[in-house]
């Protein structure tokens, strides 16, 4: 018996190879597909430098050409104002408060699966299709689950962990169910006659085309000289804006003298209240527990303490944890210390390959009792966010 259900699908086409192949696969599967490019920049000439950024006129044209080859209708929707408010302004405000947001999660939550999805449903579409590498599984009772992509190396479920059950019910990820390398995706695009087959992938933050986050923030927040201190409060140097540092950062501190033991120093805490950056030894970055807020569940929330694995960075490793929901807060304990987690990052819980849900890290604790970003939380009166560790 053929239980195929033809859907009206709105394919979000960025102008890149992944979204083009995803749209082509959805159309080939028999769905009624319409392509849409989201114009997210008020100045569409400014969001791409080589392989960096996106959302330019060039990207819009590439998406249109791909839709023509696939043989589907195509439109450009202007969501620049919504993107500016929900993603860019949020990004700047979080840094100003000593926290570090993940703009990709925010874009998925507020733009692709909120503004775009809501408009799609209002127009009678059944689903939004994207080129993300993740998998949606429909259970026997009709509920849907978000799972890691079949190819773990390309899995993007972490940045989709903000999607709730309603959004998952209207999400389609045609690239997530097959084990295909990126080279194979490009080869498939070439076989389909898609000119984006050899187009470089965009990377880094899409609205910072040159990759210079510190310059981007300085232009919007201004420069403000502050102190770099050690854990005793001794002044070691100065900086021109606490927002220019990340928890776990080692390079670029410009302290000028080594620690007494000769070991490198790392950023341990960032306080926007007094514009102070605290540095110290690597072991002070060890985290054994965290509290997270604003949880979003891909289905039912956990009932009581339970064992999961957790991911705290987009390309981070899975680590065993015990997690418990207490009111509106998620408490997570790590089986072994994890280095360099900071408030503001998202913690995403997994049960095997299934995404349980996500929350925003508000505070961390560890053997050295360094709660990265706690000062920011107290000053701002809201959960602190922080920055991903930077390696050697």
pLDDT tens for 134-177 read 999 988 888 899 999 988 888 999 999 999 989 999 999 999 87
What is the average per-residue pLDDT within 279-300? 93
Fold of 8-198: Rossmann fold (3.40.50)
Residue-level pLDDT at 386 = 39
CA distances from 152 to 144, 211, 328 (A): 20, 26, 31
Grade residue 44 by pLDDT with cuts at 50, 70 and 90: low
Q: What is the pLDDT of residue 388?
A: 35
Answer for the pair 18, 67: CB distance below 8 angstroms, yes or no. no
* Coil, strand or helix at 133: coil
Helices (H), ranges, 129-203: 165-168, 182-191
DSSP string covering 49-81, please?
ETTEE--SHHHHHHHHHHHHHHT--EEEEE-HH
* Cβ-Cβ contacts under 8 Å for 302 (sequence gap 6 or more): 308, 323, 324, 325, 349, 356, 357
Mean pLDDT of 187-191: 96
101 in Cβ contact with 346 (< 8 Å): no
| Segment among 53-67, 259-273, 305-319, 335-349 with least mean pLDDT | 53-67
For strands 74-78 and 32-39, give the pairing.
parallel
pTM for this prediction:
0.86
Task: Give mean pLDDT, residues 287-309.
Answer: 91
- Cβ distance 88 to 142 under 8 Å? no
Q: What are phi and psi of 87, to 5 degrees?
A: -115, -60
What are φ and ψ of residue 80, in 5° steps?
Answer: -60, -40
Q: How far is 115 from 131, CA to CA, in rounded Å?
A: 18
Tell me which of 303-307, 324-328, 378-382 is least confident: 378-382
Name the class of domain 223-392: mainly beta
Q: Which residues are catalytic?
A: 107, 206
**Which residue would you say has higher pLDDT here, 208 or 353?**
353
Least reliable range by pLDDT among 194-198, 273-277, 297-301, 350-354: 297-301
Please give the structure tokens belonging to residue 181: 């390398």
Q: Can you give the residue ranges of every domain in the chain?
A: 8-198, 223-392
Rounded CA-CA distance 13/22 in Å is 9
* pLDDT of 53 strictly over 70: no
Confidence of residue 2 (pLDDT cuts 50, 70, 90): low
For the chain, report the end-to-end CA distance as a whole number of angstroms.
Answer: 57
pLDDT for residue 311: 95
The residue with greater pLDDT, 297 or 378, is 297
Nearest CA to 67 out of 43, 39, 33, 115 is that of: 33
Residue tagged 């080589």 (tokens): 50
What's the mean per-residue pLDDT of the chain?
86
Q: What backbone torsions phi and psi does residue 290 show, to the nearest 5 degrees?
A: -150, 160
Q: Locate tokens 């006129």: which residue?
A: 57
Query: Residue 256: which pLDDT band, with cuts at 50, 70 and 90?
Result: confident
Longest dimension (CA), the chain: 74
pLDDT band at 381 (very low <50, low <70, confident <90, very high): very low
Query: CA-to-CA distance for 278 and 180, rounded, in angstroms?
Result: 44
Question: Which tens digit of pLDDT belongs to each residue from 171-188?
Answer: 999 998 778 888 899 999
pLDDT at position 373 is 40
Q: Is the pLDDT at 47 greater than 80, yes or no?
A: no
Low-confidence winner among 82-91, 105-114, 134-143, 205-214 (lowest mean pLDDT): 205-214
Residue for token pair 């104002």: 81
Give the Cα separation of 77 and 13 in Å (integer).
Answer: 11
Task: Please check the confidence at residue 383 and state whether its pLDDT lies above 60.
Answer: no
Q: What is the pLDDT of residue 382?
A: 36
């Amino acid at each position: 018996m053929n239980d195929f259900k033809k859907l009206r699908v709105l394919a979000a086409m960025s102008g890149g190879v992944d979204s083009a192949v995803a749209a082509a696969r959805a159309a080939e599967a028999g769905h009624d597909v319409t392509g849409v490019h989201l114009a997210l920049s008020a100045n569409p000439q400014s969001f791409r430098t080589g392989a960096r950024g996106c959302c330019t006129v060039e990207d819009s044209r590439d998406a249109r050409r791909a839709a023509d080859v696939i043989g589907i209708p195509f439109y450009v929707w202007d969501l620049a104002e919504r993107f500016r408010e929900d993603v860019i302004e949020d990004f700047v405000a979080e840094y100003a408060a000593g926290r570090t947001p993940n703009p990709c999660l925010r874009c998925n939550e507020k733009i692709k699966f909120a503004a775009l999805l809501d408009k799609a449903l209002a127009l009678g579409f059944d689903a939004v299709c994207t080129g993300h590498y993740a998998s949606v599984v429909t259970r026997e009772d009709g509920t849907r689950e978000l799972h890691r992509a079949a190819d773990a190396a390309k899995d993007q479920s972490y940045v989709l962990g903000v999607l709730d059950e309603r959004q998952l019910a209207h999400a389609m990820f045609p690239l997530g169910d097959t084990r295909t390398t990126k080279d194979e995706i490009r080869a498939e695009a070439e076989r389909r006659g898609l000119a984006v087959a050899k187009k470089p992938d965009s990377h880094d933050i899409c609205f910072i085309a040159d990759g210079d986050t510190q310059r981007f923030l300085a232009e919007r927040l201004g420069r403000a000289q502050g102190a770099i201190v050690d854990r005793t409060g001794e002044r070691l140097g100065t900086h021109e804006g606490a927002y220019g540092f990340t928890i776990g950062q080692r390079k670029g501190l410009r302290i000028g003298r080594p620690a007494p033991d000769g070991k490198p120093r790392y950023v341990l805490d960032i306080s926007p209240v007094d514009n102070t950056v605290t540095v110290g030894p690597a072991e002070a970055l060890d985290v054994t527990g965290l509290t997270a807020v604003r949880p979003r569940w891909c289905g039912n929330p956990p009932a009581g303490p339970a064992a999961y694995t957790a991911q705290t960075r987009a390309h981070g490793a899975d680590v065993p944890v015990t997690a418990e929901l207490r009111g509106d807060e998620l408490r997570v304990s790590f089986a072994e210390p994890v280095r360099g987690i900071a408030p503001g990052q998202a913690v995403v819980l997994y049960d095997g390959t299934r995404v349980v849900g996500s929350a925003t890290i508000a505070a961390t604790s560890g053997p050295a009792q360094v709660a990265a970003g706690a000062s920011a939380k107290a000053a701002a009166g809201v959960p602190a966010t922080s920055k991903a560790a930077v390696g050697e």
